[in-house]
Structure 1
Amino acid sequence: MNLRNSLSLTGALISASVVLAPMGSAAPTPGDPGVSKDMAAPLTEYVMERDGKSQAQAERYLAVKDDKQETLQTLEKRGVGVDGAWFEGTQLVVGVPRTDAAQVRAAGLRPETASSQSELDSLAEKVLEHAGKDSAHVLTVGANLPDGVVDVRLAEDAPRGLRHRLDAMDKVSVSTGEALTTQADVVPGRIMDLSPGTNCSLGYPGRLSNGDNVLLTAGHCVEGLPAILDGNGTHIGEGVHTRFHSGSSSVDMGLMDIDSEDTGVPQVDSRGHSGYYGVKGMSKNAIGSEICKAGNTTGWTCGEITAYNKTVNYGGTVVSGLAEASVCTEGGDSGGAYIGVGNLAQGMTSGGPVGANCGWNQGHNAGSYSFFQPVVDAANYYGVTIDTVS
């Protein structure tokens, strides 16, 4: 399927998000001076700024959402057929079949039986089929679960007939997106120089079942399986696999093998904004959950998760399975770590719109939107258990 060249691959770039240190060297820990002691969670300050809450109020608000997210995970483990979830304030709404509605309600969550992620994902596929030869004018397409529709962004020069055809489809919402082109900045940086010639960001470190030290990153960062150096030019690993293939239908996940003398440190660096945050696990937090990312170009920017299973285009490479967030990114942020409520790893920066102007360390004030590769999907695909703090 050929979509219009529309979104920036904010990568082949760097963001120094999760720390990588030589084996045996001193690395940041929650007790170190570089780690914020009064901000127990990475999203506390964001909620304080966004909502005008005190620190105590923000912490209570996030604790409520964290508790409900944990309740949802418990229900899934019990076999409840969860098919999408989203927050309305602090109320967690869960898409489920009618047979599971009572169990969801008894757990203090709100069941929704009329709208589901899988239903909207199927409709998104039909939108692309319906666009046919005009699909080059489709910028992005994917589920808007809270509204129960599929959102479609069309280029400004899209044929009027295409807009009319898509407008006529039930549960499809059509808007016009920015005129976008692909972009790849080369930004020197601290962590992950690719040899030859470009830079990218470390994602989340972990281990394979055989104990091998590896790192999950954006697939386009390791296309070509490059040697990987740190900012000082020291070899720290090799790209060993990618599902991103330029010009082909792709998934933006990849794997780096970490050299045996080095070790991944599961702490997200907020780029001088508010310290380091220990990773306590991984999750696909519900839509509407707060989320922040670290990036080399824009630093610490925050927003909310807005969608899963989005299909986007990077210069003729159609990438599926991405999540969308109202988090600002620019060229240079690719691979940066997204961390969410509960200090849970969410994903790695994949891309975003060209022309975004995020500033530096602007939190939620940056605006715009971006796409990330969910870390859960990448870890499951590669059989990686991500490293966490104790």
Structure 2
Amino acid sequence: MRRTLRARIFLSVILALPAVGLGSGTAGAVPDPVPGVTASPTQYSLDRTIEHSLGDRSAGSYLDATTGELVVTVTDAAAAEEVRAEGARAQLVEHSTAQLESAMSTLEAQAKITGTSWGIDPRVNQVVIEADQSVSASSLTQLENVAAGLGDAVTIRRVPGVFAREVVGGDAIYGGGYRCSAAFNVSKGINRYFLTAGHCTNLAATWYATPGGPPIGGRVGTSFPTNDYGIVRYRVGPQPAGVVNLYNGTYQDITSAADPIVGQAIKKSGSTTKVTSGTVTAVNVTVNYGDGPVYGMVRTTVCSAGGDSGGAHFAGSTALGIHSGSSGCRGTRGTAIFQPVREALSAYGVSVY
């Protein structure tokens, strides 16, 4: 595939905004990353089915790093039987989704501190809180005091760097004096669009493939903070392919979208760090950026840098998310955050192709 002005904007959007840091906590150093495993289409489907059927009798699911099995956490024996009947492995845990979400509600009300994030890691059946290096000693004490009241439902990690949104991307797009990139090309009827980060589309209504060049599209939707996604409609012209740039002369065709599973291996494509790999480590994540919080995000070990905002997070031909920000990336260490793509697809009524 050639890059052309109008037709080939594939991936990440990256803005010149700060990257938010997550934490390795007061509980100790950031743990070494565990390699992710490949998620199958059957596991994506089974994960959604079981999550819907069990409701509060589960606290999430993950892929076993050794066997690759889908493991579903459950709070009672009857739920465990249902999981096994569906062909997954059951793991009895103490805390339900409702209890973990209640802990996050307490954090939201009592410890909403810039430079922190929290989300559910079903592998440890806890809300994992991260605090970046911008969190002061007094704020960290406040966070620890709130966490103490939540018992073993939460754990805190102090992480390097500072949480920030990152602006710069895959195949670059320009608007409002910033450089970003498109995450995924999508369609609705005969119309073609690209998705990117909402903190990018907040900045400009018209987007260009080169500074000063002809416009390639106009913003038709944007959401940040709370969410971090936006959509731009291509102008009439050649129709872009539904692929992601792999930065080695080849492209990954995208044919479906799914919600990520903790423990799965993923990749990110962005214009600064190009293609990086890592693992999903938490879901339903809240990130407290300096200019507003985002909710329902996904935490990963996929490294990124300034300019990667809006980048594509994917696994094989499956679209998973839109890059939002990161903190403390060093090789395979650090934390990166993405917006789940299915939420954006649903919000705008579009589909990958």
Q: TM-score range by the shorter chain?
A: 0.7 to 0.9
Corresponding residue SS for 1:334: coil
Instruction: Letter of the 1:80 partner, please give it.
Output: S
Q: Is the 8 A contact 1:270 1:300 kept in 2?
A: yes
Post-superposition offset of 1:103: 3.5
Matching residue within 133, 137, 150 for 2:127:
150
- CA distance in 2 between partners of 1:336 and 1:26 (Å): 14
Where does the alignment leave 5 or more consecutive residues of structure 1 unmatched? Answer: 1-17, 29-49, 52-57, 359-365
Aligned match of 1:103 in 70, 82, 95? 82
- Shift of the 117–377 alpha-carbon distance from structure 1 to 2, 3 Å rule, reads farther
User: In the alignment, which residue of structure 1 is the partner of 2:61?
Assistant: 85
Deviations, residues 7-51 of structure 1 (Å, cap 9, x unaligned)? xxxxxxxxxxx997578x7999xxxxxxxxxxxxxxxxxxxxx97
TM-score normalised by L of structure 1: 0.71
**TM-score by structure 2 length?**
0.78
Give 1:295's aligned residue. Answer: 270
- Structure 1 segment 121-160 matched on structure 2, within 5 A: 121-131=101-111, 135-136=112-113, 139-154=116-131, 155-157=135-137, 158=139, 160=141
Structure 1 position 174 matched with structure 2 position 156: yes
- Give matches, 1:347-362, under 5 Å: 347-353=321-327, 356-358=329-331
Contact 2:107 2:146 in 1 (8 A): no
- Relative to its length, the structure with more strand (as a share) is 2
Whether the aligned pair in 1 keeps the contact of 2:164 and 2:325 (CA below 8 Å) is no
The answer to whether the Cα contact below 8 Å between 1:19 and 1:266 also exists between their aligned partners in 2 is: no
* Structure 1 Cα separation of the partners of residues 169 and 323 of structure 2: 17
Question: In structure 1, how many angstroms separate the alpha carbons of the residues matched to 2:306 and 2:280?
Answer: 20
1:179 is displaced (CA, Å) by 5.5
**Letter paired with 1:377:** E
Q: Does 1:384 align with 2:350?
A: yes
Q: Paired residue for 1:345, among 309, 319, 325?
A: 319
Shift of 1:85: 1.6
Q: Paired residues, what number?
A: 317
How far has the Cα of 1:141 moved from its partner?
1.7
Matches within 5 A, 1:141-290: 141-154=118-131, 155-157=135-137, 158=139, 160-170=141-151, 171-178=153-160, 180=162, 182=164, 190-194=171-175, 196-208=176-188, 210-231=189-210, 233-245=213-225, 250-272=226-248, 275-290=250-265
CA RMSD after TM alignment? 3.2
Match of 1:336 among 311, 318, 331: 311
What per-residue deviation string (whole Å, max 9, x for no partner) do you get for residues 84-119 of structure 1?
Answer: 220122121124575553332123211345344454
**Distance in 1 separating the partners of 2:72 and 2:282:** 14
Is contact 1:19-1:265 (8 Å) kept?
no
Tell me: CA distance 1:137–1:357, structure 2 relative to 1, closer, same or farther (3 Å). Answer: same
**1:66 alignment partner AA:** S
Q: Separation in 1 of the partners of 2:326 and 2:8? A: 35
